[in-house]
Structure 1
Amino acid sequence: MTPAADARPERSRRRSPLRWVARSAAGLAPVPLPLAAAARGAVALALPLLVGVCTGWVVPSVIAAIGALWGVSQDGSDPYRVRVRRLGWTGVSSALGLLAGELALRSGESVAVAGCLVAAALVAGTISLRGRIASVSGMHLLLGVTIGTGIPVPGPWWQPPLALLAGVVLVLVLSAAPWLWRRYHVERAAVLAVYRSAGEALAAAGTEEAEEARRRMTLALNHAHEVMAVHLAPRSRRRPQAEVRELVRAFHCAVRLGETVTALVWEARPLPAALTGVPLRLAERLLPGQVSAPAPEAPEVPTERQAKQAAPDLDIDSPGRSALAELYAGIDEPDDADPTLRLPAHAWPGRAARVRYAVLLTGCVLVAHLLAEALHGPRGYWLPMTVAFVYKPDFGPVFTRALHRCVGTVVGVAAIGAVSAAASGTYTVIGVVAVFGALMAVGVRHHYALATMGLTAVVFVLVDLLGDHRALYGTRMVDTALASALVLLAHFVVWPDSAAHRAEAQTEAAVAAARRYRDVAPETGPVQRQALRRSAYHQLADARRAVAHARGEPARPGRSLPDWEDAIAAAERLCDQVTAQVVAGGAERER
């Protein structure tokens, strides 16, 4: 980093990353419980079973409930079209996997079963590191094969895949139904979050919390950028709807607001209420009626010239304050030259990493299958299924995921054992499934162990309804521990530095993006400058996530990881300083 990057006061540089994490966590508002998602999870799992009980088609209804279970695990709060794509691919891939596994099992050849599992693992490993939807599709293809090869289902061969697909489609319909009456709710909430976090950052200006508040605003802006990306693409021949145009305009204003707020935070001076309330008042003007907690009444923010003539006591005496005043005063002016801000290309792992992961996943699945055959004989699907769930390095630290899987399985087994001892009657069992389905939907958004607990309990009930009445509580806990140990052994013996290498590459790319912004921004126009700034902050956030991932994995004995957090923090300060200098230069040109 250049010496200029360290021009901030000492208090903003000496805080350790651990202290920053603790203070950030303490400063975040409580995350509300996803009640709508919990309700969808309960309905999606209970409805197929109720239909099966009423019609007598118990087996297809249980298979549909398994599909709904997997659909709930991929339900989200992102834009509706993203949910539809992800859930659609989840349904198609899991149904194809179930069909392949079922046909292999019906052939009666153990070689066909093992070959089907190996082929599915190779495909899943090959495509899983190419993106979120590809990863989800690969995992559910493998899960479908493990269920198809491990659970014999009576009836025609085509019925189970269609039933599984129907269960996922049920979740898709429940998840996407709100699109009919609140079509752009997710996008609107993401954009409004930027304005709220910008107000918090302005309120924190001049305090020790300023840098953390600016980071939260940047993360909110990154999220809004991702959510709005489809609407920011070059416009087609069809004119976008008025609501979309309104959201795009509000987002572009949020981008300019983020630049101005960054400059004000860099100035490190407390701000009066007339300025800290500007972001929410901007949001109210751009998205009328959407701000639930508007800013307190404050005098209108004038332009710099008006401030000098009519309100000298407002003390607009810095480039950042002047830029904020100008932004507020000019918000009603028509602007058809909004830039097309594209998301930076995501750096996916290279071919060598994808091949290594595919080979390791395939080996783990094959060993798990052979181990299950040796220990349990038929219906030994739990071991390879656990491998498919646990060995997902693109979903977070493998060690943490394995640990949470084991904890969630133990708690889920204990919970369903206690409930089963007290519950009796078909409808009571369906109610239990609904409760655990709701818990799983909450866990998907909050904690993997909670999601695993709900999934484990539901699977026990569904398998029992399929006619497998064996006492498997202790066996499933042992199987989960064995599968997790197998994954950890294979991953950390053969590929121990994968997360560290990715963190190093991401950090280097982020620092390079920050330096590119420093070198180009002062000499370029606003469109390219905003694109460079957005790209730099996106890559810095990705680098922080990659570093956190690497810190969550066990380090090799005798080796300590580099202090990447310092390099990322220095690059963030460099971007902040360049932004402040650009804003100051713009204010000088206005004069």
Structure 2
Amino acid sequence: MNRPAPRLPPWIAHALSAQRGPVPWSAVVRGALAAGPLLLAGVLAGRTSLGVVAALGAMLAGVNDRPGSRRASVGRLGLPALAGAAGLLAGSYAGRHTGAVTLTLLLTLLGLLGGAVSAVGPVASAVGTQLLVTSALGAGMMLPEPGWESALLYLAGAGWLLGLRLLLPTPSSAARGARLGYRFDGERAAVAGVYEAVAALLDAAGTPGATARRAALTAALDQAQDALAGPRLRRHAGSAAERRLHAQYAAALPLAEAATALAWAERPVPARAGEGPRRLAVAVRAGVRATGPLPAPARTVPALRALDDALLRAAEAFDSGEGGRLHTRRRGARALLRIVLGAGGREYGFRVAASFGASAALAQALHRTGWYGPHPHWYWLPATAVFLVKPDLGPLVSRVLSRAAGTVLGALVFAGVAAVVPRPGGLIAVVALCGALIPVAARHFAALTAVITALVLALLMVGGEPGASWNRIGETLLACALVLIAGHLPVPGERAGGVRARLTVAADAAYTYLAHVLDEPGERARRWTLRRDAYRTLAEAQAAIGRAAAELPALARHTEGTAEVAATLERLVDTTTACAVHLDDTGSLDLRHRERLEQLFTELAARRRRAGLGTADGGRTPEGLSGAISRAGRKETGVTHIR
């Protein structure tokens, strides 16, 4: 009898896993042209320290240079860079004009702010990270220039990379020619990805892979939404190409809705059903209006009729190139403040403040004792703690193991390279090479740490500091120990507040979506907005739950049962989508839809109790929706739309 192979604990398996995908050659080229040339310019101009600061700005912006549209990169790279410049300015003046105790207190308060803000989302997390890292650098490096000058050069370095991101064409767009408007390559790829995901879900309908395909469709819609949500560079409605992309995205929403309803029914659909979305995807990627004839699916059930209608509307939208919007709810200042001050923001802020403040105090104490040896600056310890304490970067123990391994590898490799390359030319080449490797190394935290360690050590050596690789290893190990302690400290209120807060938001969005479908089934524009909100918040909650599940058992136990709650919510949102399509076609819910909703409500209540989440959320509750379900089942039937 064959025994199953032993499985690694989640906290070890996560540390050994890495993302996969094609090499982002465009980002590699930008990385090579960013920090290295800026450092070279500073050396040639006789202002090496300013070249180092500008290269640091470009390097940290390069960490945030991920795939996506050019317009979306304005916020993704620009907002963290602004925060980094502010942190460098504040740290520089605080380091010059305050004592050790006051400086530690100020950095701790910054840690509280940066951690709480990081709970809002990925861009906000990058904002918090750069704010804290640069405040430690500004306070510890003691640059010869005034703080405002260093901040401007840091911002210029990040702006240089952002300019490369906006202006350089990708290899594929250069091959096709500029007439297609390469500025929108990222948007085209994202929207085409939605149509391809719709086709893949249709192919998987009635198979065990349908759930994974539906999750992939949600991810594709999220990416397209982000790609199109960047700032408009024109005052009015934008160019015809922009309007056409928005129309094509909006036309994909009813297709996604119909495909989800067909997958929910758990029955295979005709193979030709996916051909129409695939042809639409080809047209989007090519930047053309004409889609050619679209094969019509059989109109035997409500969801197939909805799919056929959605294909017809999509063909019209492609021809006209007008209409459509993102169908996303923008969070106002009050909603963002609730997240920052909520359970997730408080727990996040407490842990970051504890780690950042303690590491800054310890680093300054070691600095006064002369432990640092040949390099007199103490910023490495708190800056390392910032990256280690961020839960959105992965589970705690995985971050610690990866950071320790990456720092040792990067420091040892750099020590060997620095011993043989000429200075400063060879070190500048190391900076350029590491900048090019960042987009590839970002697939694993250890690899990214190794590359950044070598890059920073090269920058510091060009700036006149000794390499001090062994000191950096020791400081990193100290930061790992501090963050492990801070990560296991009890916090006021519930543990795993971030996970619970995201799950509560997802449940509220799911109930609001269902309430709208039952109360106002004919109002489709708002329905699509609420549907996007429900799936997006659910995906964010599931990502947070997955990270928490890979923690050490002492931490993972605080989120036990939340994955089952999220899975039930996912089925509830899928069922709501199927109800919406059925109501459009017949005007009432049949017995199967009503029974599935009631079954999910019962299951959800039981799983929430087992997870210690209670039974109520901030919005509509299952109890309040039961009456709406009954009313939807009593509506007149026989109102199938004439098409």
TM over 0.5: yes
Structure 2 partner of 1:324 = 307
1:348 to 339, 347, 351: 339
Tell me if structure 2 keeps the 8 A contact 1:48–1:61.
yes
Structure 2 partner of 1:36 = 26
Structure 2 partner of 1:565 = 563
Structure 2 partner of 1:590 = 641
Correspondence 1:325-404 to 2 at 5 A: 325-333=308-316, 338=324, 341-343=327-329, 345=331, 348-351=339-342, 354-355=345-346, 357-377=348-368, 378-404=376-402
How far apart are residue 533 of structure 1 and its match? 2.2
How far apart are residue 119 of structure 1 and its match? 5.0
User: Alpha carbons of 1:65 and 1:517: their partners in 2 closer, same or farther (altered >3 Å)?
Assistant: closer
Structure 2 partner of 1:92 = 82
Tell me if structure 1 keeps the 8 A contact 2:52–2:459.
yes
How many angstroms apart in 1 are the aligned matches of 2:215 and 2:342?
33
Matched residue of 1:77: which SS? coil
How many angstroms apart in 2 are the aligned matches of 1:436 and 1:237?
39
Correspondence 1:162-201 to 2 at 5 A: 162-178=152-168, 181-201=181-201
How many angstroms apart in 2 are the aligned matches of 1:49 and 1:458?
11
Instruction: Please give the TM-score of this superposition, normalised by the length of structure 1.
Output: 0.82
Tell me if structure 2 keeps the 8 A contact 1:339–1:527.
no
Structure 2 partner of 1:7 = none
Correspondence 1:8-157 to 2 at 5 A: 31-107=21-97, 109-111=99-101, 113-114=103-104, 116-125=106-115, 127-155=117-145
1:504 to 500, 507, 517: 500
Correspondence 1:227-238 to 2 at 5 A: 227-229=227-229, 238=236
Structure 1 partner of 2:211 = 211
Tell me if structure 1 keeps the 8 A contact 2:344–2:499.
no
How far apart are residue 333 of structure 1 and its match? 4.0
User: Alpha carbons of 1:51 and 1:509: their partners in 2 closer, same or farther (altered >3 Å)?
Assistant: closer
Matched residue of 2:378: which SS? coil
AA paired with 2:151? P
2:415 to 411, 417, 427: 417
Structure 2 partner of 1:8 = none
Alpha-carbon deviations, 1:3-27, whole Å to 9, x = none?
A: xxxxxxxxxxxxxxx99xx9xxx9x
User: Alpha carbons of 1:380 and 1:178: their partners in 2 closer, same or farther (altered >3 Å)?
Assistant: same
Tell me if structure 2 keeps the 8 A contact 1:204–1:213.
yes
How many angstroms apart in 2 are the aligned matches of 1:139 and 1:557?
23
Q: 481-490 vs 568-577, which deviates more?
A: 568-577
How far apart are residue 196 of structure 1 and its match? 0.7
How far apart are residue 75 of structure 1 and its match? 2.3
How many angstroms apart in 2 are the aligned matches of 1:130 and 1:420?
41
How many angstroms apart in 2 are the aligned matches of 1:272 and 1:142?
55
Correspondence 1:435 to 2:433: yes
User: Alpha carbons of 1:430 and 1:239: their partners in 2 closer, same or farther (altered >3 Å)?
Assistant: closer
Structure 1 partner of 2:262 = 264
AA paired with 2:139? T
Structure 2 partner of 1:468 = 465
Structure 1 partner of 2:444 = 447
Q: 554-563 vs 503-512, which deviates more?
A: 554-563
How far apart are residue 195 of structure 1 and its match? 0.5
How far apart are residue 456 of structure 1 and its match? 0.5
Structure 2 partner of 1:11 = none
AA paired with 1:177? L
How many angstroms apart in 2 are the aligned matches of 1:271 and 1:254?
19
How many angstroms apart in 2 are the aligned matches of 1:106 and 1:510?
46
How many angstroms apart in 2 are the aligned matches of 1:166 and 1:195?
39
AA paired with 1:194? V
Give unpaired runs (5+ residues) of structure 1.
Answer: 1-17, 303-313
Structure 2 partner of 1:459 = 456
How far apart are residue 482 of structure 1 and its match? 1.0
How far apart are residue 544 of structure 1 and its match? 0.8
How many angstroms apart in 2 are the aligned matches of 1:91 and 1:29?
26
Structure 2 partner of 1:277 = 275
AA paired with 1:486? L
Matched residue of 2:440: which SS? helix
How many angstroms apart in 1 are the aligned matches of 2:351 and 2:264?
47
Tell me if structure 1 keeps the 8 A contact 2:201–2:210.
yes
Alpha-carbon deviations, 1:34-91, whole Å to 9, x = none?
A: 1111221121111022223433332322222222222212223334344223433333
Alpha-carbon deviations, 1:306-327, whole Å to 9, x = none?
A: xxxxxxxx75433322322232
How many angstroms apart in 2 are the aligned matches of 1:167 and 1:429?
18
Correspondence 1:202 to 2:189: no
User: Alpha carbons of 1:344 and 1:100: their partners in 2 closer, same or farther (altered >3 Å)?
Assistant: closer
How many angstroms apart in 2 are the aligned matches of 1:498 and 1:488?
19
Alpha-carbon deviations, 1:436-467, whole Å to 9, x = none?
A: 122223233x2222221111001111111222
Tell me if structure 1 keeps the 8 A contact 2:63–2:439.
yes
AA paired with 2:477? A
Tell me if structure 2 keeps the 8 A contact 1:101–1:116.
no
How many angstroms apart in 1 are the aligned matches of 2:19 and 2:269?
22
Q: 479-488 vs 53-62, which deviates more?
A: 53-62
User: Alpha carbons of 1:300 and 1:430: their partners in 2 closer, same or farther (altered >3 Å)?
Assistant: closer
How many angstroms apart in 2 are the aligned matches of 1:203 and 1:165?
48
Matched residue of 1:493: which SS? coil
Alpha-carbon deviations, 1:549-584, whole Å to 9, x = none?
A: 221332338946433333322332233233334324
Percent sequence identity over matched residues? 33
User: Alpha carbons of 1:108 and 1:587: their partners in 2 closer, same or farther (altered >3 Å)?
Assistant: closer
How far apart are residue 190 of structure 1 and its match? 1.3
How many angstroms apart in 2 are the aligned matches of 1:144 and 1:351?
26
Alpha-carbon deviations, 1:477-531, whole Å to 9, x = none?
A: 1211111221221231133986633323433443443344344414421223323
RMSD: 3.6
Give unpaired runs (5+ residues) of structure 2.
Answer: 1-8, 170-177, 369-375, 587-639
How far apart are residue 144 of structure 1 and its match? 2.2
User: Alpha carbons of 1:260 and 1:384: their partners in 2 closer, same or farther (altered >3 Å)?
Assistant: same
Structure 2 partner of 1:301 = 295
Tell me if structure 2 keeps the 8 A contact 1:412–1:456.
yes
Structure 2 partner of 1:311 = none
Tell me if structure 1 keeps the 8 A contact 2:72–2:228.
no
Instruction: Report the count of equivalent residues.
Output: 547
How many angstroms apart in 2 are the aligned matches of 1:318 and 1:115?
65
Matched residue of 2:286: which SS? coil
How many angstroms apart in 2 are the aligned matches of 1:402 and 1:134?
22
Structure 2 partner of 1:6 = none
Q: 492-501 vs 426-435, which deviates more?
A: 492-501
How many angstroms apart in 1 are the aligned matches of 2:464 and 2:85?
21
User: Alpha carbons of 1:264 and 1:86: their partners in 2 closer, same or farther (altered >3 Å)?
Assistant: closer
AA paired with 1:64? A
Tell me if structure 2 keeps the 8 A contact 1:369–1:384.
yes
Matched residue of 1:380: which SS? coil
How many angstroms apart in 1 are the aligned matches of 2:131 and 2:456?
18
How many angstroms apart in 2 are the aligned matches of 1:558 and 1:51?
49
Instruction: Please give the TM-score of this superposition, normalised by the length of structure 2.
Output: 0.76
